[in-house]
Structure 1
């Protein structure tokens, strides 16, 4: 669970605190575990929520809502191709370099596998905000990976 926390909080000591708080919450609310999902998935969700709470408290995130929102075509979500020579570690590094408001949503969507409804519930934002932030984060990530590609041939 610490590795999950480290995806969201880059400082190990703070990630450890968030993980510990998540375990305490899980223990206190063990009776609410219904078994609809695996125990690991239930605990992981608590850890992620705790990390996001820590990020908000420590002001690691920017405002996640936008005032002038437009509906974005969901077809973009299927296009996640990268150049063949780009490694998984390079993608992870580029993801870590993103602004937090994009990185959190990209991690929830790509790594944790949450859909927009779940992300909106976790972050307490509208589903459309989740889509927009994912779209913007994806464009930002693609831009960084394109720079890596250009540096390779420079």
Structure 2
């Protein structure tokens, strides 16, 4: 119970950021804690218990989102923005947190997952690649394309410099 009390609120926040539904987030953290307690013998202490548990919560949320999805419509690759190598996420006009969240939510799933894990959850490319079962180069590409979509959405919403 001590571990649960220590980590439950933080893990709930992680789950809420991913599934955006309180009841689903509560169910998912309960399932994640059960799985963690069942697999406690596999915890090797290479990372903190919280980081290990967070990985379980993130994986459980991703599994839930994939299972809930009824169909997948891939975007046409030729319509993608060119990939750039810069890591600059700044825009030249004021953007609020809700606008950023909305722009991330509007991304196609494969880009949204990478952007969310990178920017919000703080995972690096190798960790994201492992979690999602993709190559690290694919992770970097999806992050850059996700960034491009987010910036394009701000421009499409008629944001102008200085407003």
TM-score normalised per structure 2:
0.76
Are 2:16 and 1:6 equivalent residues in the alignment? Answer: yes
TM-score normalised per structure 1:
0.80
Q: Following the alignment from structure 1 to structure 2, what is the Cα–Cα distance between the partners of residues 118 and 79?
A: 21
Native 8 Å contact 2:92 2:161 kept in 1: no
Are 2:75 and 1:97 equivalent residues in the alignment? Answer: no
State the SS of the aligned residue for 1:113. coil
Q: Following the alignment from structure 1 to structure 2, what is the Cα–Cα distance between the partners of residues 61 and 3?
A: 27
Considering only CA atoms, is the larger Rg found in Structure 1 or Structure 2?
2
Quote the offset at 1:73 in angstroms.
Answer: 7.3
Gaps of 5+ in 2: 1-10
Are 2:23 and 1:17 equivalent residues in the alignment? Answer: no
Runs of 4+, deviation exceeding 4 Å: 60-64, 151-154
More deviation, 98-107/53-62? 53-62
Native 8 Å contact 1:61 1:101 kept in 2: no
Native 8 Å contact 1:61 1:100 kept in 2: no
Match of 1:122 in 2: 131
Gaps of 5+ in 1: none
Give the aligned CA root-mean-square deviation in angstroms. 3.0
State the SS of the aligned residue for 1:75. coil
Are 2:34 and 1:34 equivalent residues in the alignment? Answer: no
Q: Following the alignment from structure 1 to structure 2, what is the Cα–Cα distance between the partners of residues 73 and 23?
A: 39
Quote the offset at 1:118 in angstroms.
Answer: 1.2
Are 2:130 and 1:109 equivalent residues in the alignment? Answer: no
